[in-house]
Amino acid sequence: MAETVVLPVEGMTCGACSARVGRGLSDLAGVDSAVVNLATERATVVFDPDAVDVDAFRRTVASLGYRVPDEGPADGTAPATGGDAGAAPSGRDVPTVRLLVAVALTVPVFLVSMVPAWQFDGWRWVVGLLATPVVWGSGLDFHRATLRNLRHRATTMDTLVTLGTVAAWAWSARALVAGGHVYFETAAVIVTLILTGRWLEAGARRRSGDAIRALAGLSVRHATLEDGSTVAVDDVRVGMRLLVRPGDAVPVDGRVVEGTSTVDESMLTGESVPVDVGPGSEVTGATVNGHGALVVEATRVGAETTLARIVRLVDEAQASTAPVQRLADRISAVFVPVVLAVAAATLVAWSVAGQASDGLTAAVAVLVIACPCALGLATPTAIMVGTGRGAQLGVLIGSGEALESTRHVDHVVLDKTGTVTEGRMALASIVPTAGVDADRALRIAASLEARSEHPIATAIAGVSERHLPASGVEALPGSGVRGTVSGVEALVGRPDLFDRLPADLAVARDEALDAGRTAVVVGWDGEPRALLAIEDRIRPTSAEAVAGLQALGLGVTLLTGDDERTARTVADAVGIDHVVAGVLPDGKDAEVARLRDAGRTVAMVGDGINDAPALARADLGIAMGSGTGVAMEAADVTVVAGDLRAVVDAIRLARRTLATIRGNLFWAFAYNAAALPLAAAGLLDPMVAAGAMASSSLFVVGNSLRLRGFTGRS
């Protein structure tokens, strides 16, 4: 069985680096896939543990000139790389003091070199002395990275920076002795501008991960036991009873056993209206208790809590990439060698023309302008910000692939119960056939349904507190339950489980269906005995959500196991024209397959175990967070709140994120396509090239950060 591991990788500086690490890991026997994210500095590897292990990944990464630290990040963010300016993805990697020294020395070098009135006798020697610490001190890590990569026969953007700055410095040092124009200011300014750009870029990239860090920061450190004593939340175990005072955050997921209050779930679901809770209500860790004290029994702790799962899902999504990035990765892998060839050809061409000095300037400009950082950052930064913003709105997008699938969706299939409706079923009425005691029929039905978590079963089981002994209970997926109750063979479920219904039960069934209720029949000894009408209210926001989906140009289908008339009543209420009713789980799966065969790109939205096959079959599976864990595992996107409008948000956000990625890639490609010929023709000064190179990466990150302003439902 395949396993997945996420490894922090230190030392990557550009798209060529991440592409190289990805290729190296993918080439290992037993590795199914390896995706390397430059922005988060992580490699996500899917592998066969019987064929390869994590130590092999570490050795492979090391053989490529990079490093996997012994411990990954504790909070799901990209790991720090320990002060390596040449590898700087975070602010700590470019020491501020080193940058300040470079700026302090470069300013006088630039001014004296560029302003003739300030050039005194021997100024060239002074400028050389000031520029040398910048090139060989502040820029030392560029050169170290270049040598490290050359030992492994690799070239990266550090290679370009080193060749450009060292060539300018060496030419100038020779000119001090032999005479000629010096380019010390070019070498110093290039180093300073690139360091400045990386420092600014690091800050912007940190902001792109703010959402996941904010979610991780919601976790509670301590919990109060029912007796008033305090324990670390890590020591809380399932079954413990915890006291949650007014204004406190709920420490872990649990069930209220005493007290009533309201709970603010906005930090997880995006819903601003507090939820009323009382005995029996489920509460989620990190949500905030309102006015009343609660005693909560822990049901999920540690890594199993909803908050931990959300952080893990978002973290995995941010470590992934999208298929659209593959072109950029392929280009980055060969880009640096091509640039080196172009720079060499530029120098040779100018030298043949008798202008070796100008040729050096043009070659240095080619080397500096061509950094492929923007290509490497175009996709991962947008995914980081987009998925992080989605998490803040209660929408968990599982991966870059899911983002791209969401953009292409043109048809949405909605499960009815728990998706369009609230999923909190209640018994509206019971109609026994002649000679049958209604209370007995209800107790038999409740006894059979007592072990099921289906919303209809819960509604029936909760009505009667006196359950009868039941044995041999067997679930009939999508149909009902059968078993032996007090020695009687009993059956409860859909009316069509029975060959025929007595006239009074048939009338009751028709009345229930016409009212939009679900008809359930209970019988024993092979005969139907009573009809139960179960009512599930339509979510107040479902009609608005359906209208929102249709406004996006999407077709909408209501898919349910309920009777046609019940389904049609609900569909008419929310504005859905196409209804497929009376289907079992395999029928839901078949309907999704039929739509896909017809050329549709299908998103399936559901919340139950019976929705899992259809969720997995669809191009995009969207699980309502109020549903079962099986549905959430089968889905690509999870809506934490039970609000269908969040599905509209998910599709809008995916489209916006993919549009941002396409914009980033376009400008990254366009920048290099336009700048390289200008540099080779001598029309671009190396100092301007360095500034433009840094600006291109900042533009890509800044463009991605605009996704933080995405607004969802009110």
Cα 631 to its chain centre, rounded Å, is 18
Closest CA to 132 of 161, 159, 168: 168
Contacts with 114 (C-beta within 8 Å, 6 or more apart), sequence order: 185
Q: What is the DSSP string of 253-298?
A: EEEEEE--EEEE-HHHH---S-EEE-TT-EE-TT-EE-SS-EEEEE
Contact 647, 552 (CB under 8 A): no
What values do phi and psi take at 112, rounded to 5?
-65, -40
Q: What is the DSSP string of 139-165?
A: THHHHHHHHHHHHTT---HHHHHHHHH
Q: Given the residues 158, 253, 315, 415, select the one marked as catalytic.
A: 415
Contact 279, 245 (CB under 8 A): no
Closest CA to 399 of 386, 410, 408, 412: 386
CA dist., res. 380 & res. 398, Å (int): 14
Beta-strand relationship, 426-432 and 527-535: antiparallel
Question: Six-digit token pair at 671?
Answer: 């920048």
How many helices (H) and strands (E) in the chain? 24, 25
Maximum CA pair distance of the chain?
Answer: 119
Contact 254, 286 (CB under 8 A): no
Q: CA angle at residue 667 from 677 to 138, to 5 degrees? A: 75
Beta bridge partners of 538: 421
Contact 481, 448 (CB under 8 A): yes
CA dist., res. 611 & res. 584, Å (int): 9
Q: How many CB atoms lie within 10 A of CB 582?
A: 16
Whether 358 is catalytic is no
Beta bridge partners of 605: 414, 622
Q: CA angle at residue 267 from 634 to 227, to 5 degrees? A: 100
Q: How many CB atoms lie within 10 A of CB 683?
A: 12
Cα 39 to its chain centre, rounded Å, is 14
Question: Six-digit token pair at 538?
Answer: 């339509």
Quote the radius of gyration of the chain (alpha carbons, Å): 32
CA dist., res. 130 & res. 74, Å (int): 42
Angstrom distances, CA of residue 194 to CA of 44, 100, 138, 146, 686: 29, 13, 11, 15, 12
Mapping DSSP to helix (H, G, I), strand (E, B) and coil, where does residue 537 land? coil
Residue with tokens 């909190």: 424
What values do phi and psi take at 537, rounded to 5?
-75, 145
Question: Six-digit token pair at 418?
Answer: 């728990």
CA dist., res. 248 & res. 294, Å (int): 10
CA dist., res. 370 & res. 156, Å (int): 11
Mapping DSSP to helix (H, G, I), strand (E, B) and coil, where does residue 46 land? strand
Q: What is the DSSP string of 294-359?
A: EEEEEEE-GGGSHHHHHHHHHHHHHH---TTHHHHHHHHHHHHHHHHHHHHHHHHHHHHTT-HHHH
Name the residues annotated as catalytic.
415
